[in-house]
Amino acid sequence: MRYAKKIKLIFIIILSSLSLNIWAEGIAIDPSTVVVDSQQGLISARYSVQLNNTLEQALNRGIPLVFSLSCDVIQARWYWFDKKVYSSQQDRKLTFNPLTRTYRFYLGPVYVSYDSLSEALQAVGQISNWSLGEPNLLKKNETYQAILQLKLDVSQLPKPFQIDAIANSDWTLTSKQYQWMIKP
């Protein structure tokens, strides 16, 4: 009887540590950091990016991880399908250089080196003054819905890993869509 209680206690501790580990991985936006300047059409935000063991091992073995940041601005119409006013995508690449033991974060042709993975992941999740299109693109007194999402782009992985990503959920890393209304 005494052993059954200890076994139950150990089982509960193991399950709770597994559930905390599952919640710690993924991509989540911090809603308090989202700043939208609808007059100039700029957005700033911060995502928290956490890699699971499979992705971290792949990165440390030299496989580049490309994250895709996408933003859509949609105008609701009652008489037809919603109109996509603006759509943009930005690729953010993260690599590891085993010789220098540094992580590189690429945003287009520009890159920054970091000594730790946590610093590099912070850079991946940081959005600063990203343009939502031309400021005069949005009409005054109209309401628009904006959708922002950050995800791992498995289509840019090497081909053998793309096949593995289809069958293995460890390669899926996606944030929930963050939505807000814009009224210029």
Q: Taking 90 as the threshold, does the pLDDT of residue 102 lie above it?
A: yes
Q: What is the pLDDT of residues 64-73, one digit of tens each?
A: 999 999 999 9
Residue 10 — pLDDT band, cuts 50, 70, 90? very low
Whole-angstrom Cα distance, residue 47 to residue 31?
A: 9
What's the domain range around 108? 26-182
Residue 150 domain flag: yes
Residue 85 domain flag: yes
Write down the pLDDT at residue 90. 94
Q: What is the pLDDT of residues 73-101, one digit of tens each?
A: 999 888 889 999 989 999 999 999 999 99
Residue whose structure tokens are 């599952």: 22
**Tokens coding 44:** 């700033």
Residue 19 — pLDDT band, cuts 50, 70, 90? very low
Residue 6 domain flag: no
Residue 109 domain flag: yes
**SS3 label, residue 73:** strand
Residue 8 domain flag: no
Whole-angstrom Cα distance, residue 101 to residue 52?
A: 20
Q: Taking 50 as the threshold, does the pLDDT of residue 122 lie above it?
A: yes
Q: What is the pLDDT of residues 123-179, one digit of tens each?
A: 999 999 988 777 677 788 888 899 999 999 999 999 888 888 888 888 999 999 999
Do 171 and 165 touch, CB atoms closer than 8 A? Answer: yes
Residue 115 domain flag: yes
Write down the pLDDT at residue 51. 96
Residue 15 domain flag: no
Residue 2 — pLDDT band, cuts 50, 70, 90? low
Residue 2 domain flag: no
Question: Which ranges in the chain belong to alpha helices (H)?
Answer: 2-24, 53-60, 117-125, 159-167
Number of structural domains (the chain) is 1
Whole-angstrom Cα distance, residue 35 to residue 41?
A: 11
